Structure 1
């Protein structure tokens, strides 16, 4: 091969870049919007939620590859980005502006910075920031007509999420961690390590921002990242993060099956009454405890309640045993549960005795279940 021919050869793709592109391609094929074809009209818009950190910046440059025209001349996707400025740190506006400039230099459009106000009433600072962030992303997706919003969470984030769930005594759904897809949100990097995204940024010559809150010991997730995970790796050997990720994969499949079964059981035992939602005693008593808890949680959700804690579900289930108090038991999100007794109005055949009744108890003005 002549020197001129060798110069024309396509540069070899770095394995790390190929790996991240494969993960995004796979996620789009399995869970995302269909790409544009020659006869499908406009390309769907993907919005990257980008903080300017290594994970989301690597996702942005990876997504940009799918922003390029294919061999048939059609762009399969349009790719834009949203930078959310929480305003919680000095210089946050400058960080957001720096992220915007990098994203635009990659060829993404539209790129928008959204500044939010973080209201922490009734929740911790991390939860309040997350609520404000997703509200901003929802609004941006609606404004631009995005088909999907891409999030840069990695395997390391998933492992940390599982440990958080374990520490809180959470159930199967929580221990399953973050799903690849939820609504319009897509997390294509959940099988990649954080170091993979850092390498991608370095290969592309990008300058990611290192969020100081990631190492701030005031936050539980930061302590897990900087203290707990390194301790587990030291004591148990390498591979702890991957093991936790595998556990999340298994539990996600289990949780999906159990939830589908619970939905079927809920339809069987559910009655709608003027009081709210009623769960028939006979049907509930035949269910195993895991199903009882899920059915009660589904009834609470139908009434606008929040996901009840294990202790509250236990208390509600105890009402079925027809001894002791008939309630009410208060569930999160302004929902109460009580057992029908002789003192309540029931059908003349007596079939309502012992049924569980869930009803919304109302909320103060300005409060919501978000």
Structure 2
């Protein structure tokens, strides 16, 4: 008797490796949109959960962002597909605050966190593949991002796990076909669609062009770059945390301790401190961090540095303080004599 198709076996093996550390009877949630990647992942999880040797339990969660006409039906069909695989499935409707990929992503992750809390899940599985990783790195390069962004998506972060980062999108498509699954294809993933995101255009245009010009293996190379930079970024983050601990004093951060550190560590530590003070990471640019760094290394009595999120950095008495920006002063009201 022949075994499963190579791609089906690869998905199952990736899931086993990703969940090897879970305690007995742990609950695993699969985030499923109904697309090829998450549906192939759900099928792999469902198969493994049904084996007598598997010690963890599994369910599926479908998030409906409500951003496209018919999204409720797509979500319901995705949940039904998961149930057909043997997974209990719940649909979560969310309201996205804003436009673009970032607000939708924030709403999705928040919904998955709430579902995990409500159900007591130990892990939430996401269907990102090597192709998604390559797109993330390429987008980061185009934006001039630092090592942390270029490190891409980690295999594990908190409860979120990405078992399929070593597999290609062609693998998940083949896995669905081999199991006679009919995935939903998001029309906005087509780079020619009117509502196509920048990531979709990278997927349909930029990466194929690079493969054609540079030869095959570009996606794999970008993913390897991400893995190497992740190791570097993890080390730098740990060293930057040590620097912040050493510089922490009453009233802020000791500028002499900060100034003595290597620039790469100091700016990373300052970015971490600014985010901890309330500045949104997505809005905090390098120019902001360098302006704060100038308070440490190029001090000539300049005033407070305004930062995203209503945060301000100030230097006083050898201390760098980060906190809420002062409210703007109102113009004084001039008294006007009234006529009797």
Q: TM-score, normalised on structure 1? A: 0.83
Equivalent-residue separation in structure 2 for 1:14 and 1:227 (angstroms)? 30
Q: CA deviation at 1:11?
A: 3.5
Equivalent-residue separation in structure 2 for 1:284 and 1:262 (angstroms)? 10
- 2:93 matches 1:93: no
Q: CA deviation at 1:319?
A: 1.6
- 2:305 matches 1:329: yes
Q: CA deviation at 1:48?
A: 0.6
Match of 1:219 among 193, 197, 202: 197
Aligned partner of 1:45 in structure 2 is 27
Deviations 1:26-47 (A, max 9, x none): 1112xx523x2xxxxxx11111
Comparing 92-101 and 206-215, the one that deviates more: 92-101
Aligned partner of 1:102 in structure 2 is 81
Equivalent-residue separation in structure 1 for 2:120 and 2:207 (angstroms)? 39
Match of 1:205 among 173, 177, 180: 180
Q: CA deviation at 1:12?
A: 2.1
- 2:43 matches 1:61: yes
Q: Are the counterparts in 1 of residues 314 and 321 from structure 2 also a CA contact under 8 Å?
A: yes
In the superposition, relative to structure 1, how do residues 118 and 323 fare at CA in structure 2: closer, same or farther (>3 Å)? closer
Deviations 1:7-27 (A, max 9, x none): xxx432322222111111111
Matched residue SS, 1:66: helix
Aligned partner of 1:7 in structure 2 is none
Equivalent-residue separation in structure 1 for 2:15 and 2:185 (angstroms)? 23
Aligned partner of 1:15 in structure 2 is 6
Match of 2:275 among 301, 315, 319: 301
Equivalent-residue separation in structure 1 for 2:301 and 2:280 (angstroms)? 23
- 2:89 matches 1:115: no
Q: Are the counterparts in 1 of residues 148 and 233 from structure 2 also a CA contact under 8 Å?
A: yes
Q: CA deviation at 1:338?
A: 1.7
Aligned partner of 1:194 in structure 2 is 169
Deviations 1:322-349 (A, max 9, x none): 4445231122222211221xxxxxxxxx
Match of 2:293 among 317, 322, 330: 317
Q: TM-score, normalised on structure 2? A: 0.90
In the superposition, relative to structure 1, how do residues 285 and 251 fare at CA in structure 2: closer, same or farther (>3 Å)? same
Deviations 1:29-71 (A, max 9, x none): 2xx523x2xxxxxx11111100000000000001112212325
Aligned partner of 1:359 in structure 2 is 323
In the superposition, relative to structure 1, how do residues 25 and 361 fare at CA in structure 2: closer, same or farther (>3 Å)? same
Aligned partner of 1:33 in structure 2 is 22
Written as runs of structure 1 = structure 2, the 5 A alignment for 1:64-75 is 64-71=46-53, 75=54
Written as runs of structure 1 = structure 2, the 5 A alignment for 1:148-297 is 148-215=123-190, 216=193, 218-273=196-251, 278-297=252-271
Q: Are the counterparts in 2 of residues 328 and 336 from structure 1 also a CA contact under 8 Å?
A: yes
Deviations 1:133-171 (A, max 9, x none): 112111111111111110000000000000111111111
Name structure 1 gaps, 5 residues minimum.
Answer: 1-9, 37-42, 341-351, 364-370
Equivalent-residue separation in structure 1 for 2:299 and 2:2 (angstroms)? 75
Aligned partner of 1:126 in structure 2 is 101
Q: Are the counterparts in 2 of residues 338 and 356 from structure 1 also a CA contact under 8 Å?
A: yes
Q: How many residues align?
A: 322
- 2:133 matches 1:144: no
Q: CA deviation at 1:300?
A: 1.6
Aligned partner of 2:334 in structure 1 is none
Equivalent-residue separation in structure 1 for 2:217 and 2:19 (angstroms)? 27
Equivalent-residue separation in structure 1 for 2:272 and 2:137 (angstroms)? 23
Q: Are the counterparts in 1 of residues 22 and 56 from structure 2 also a CA contact under 8 Å?
A: no
Equivalent-residue separation in structure 2 for 1:169 and 1:264 (angstroms)? 26
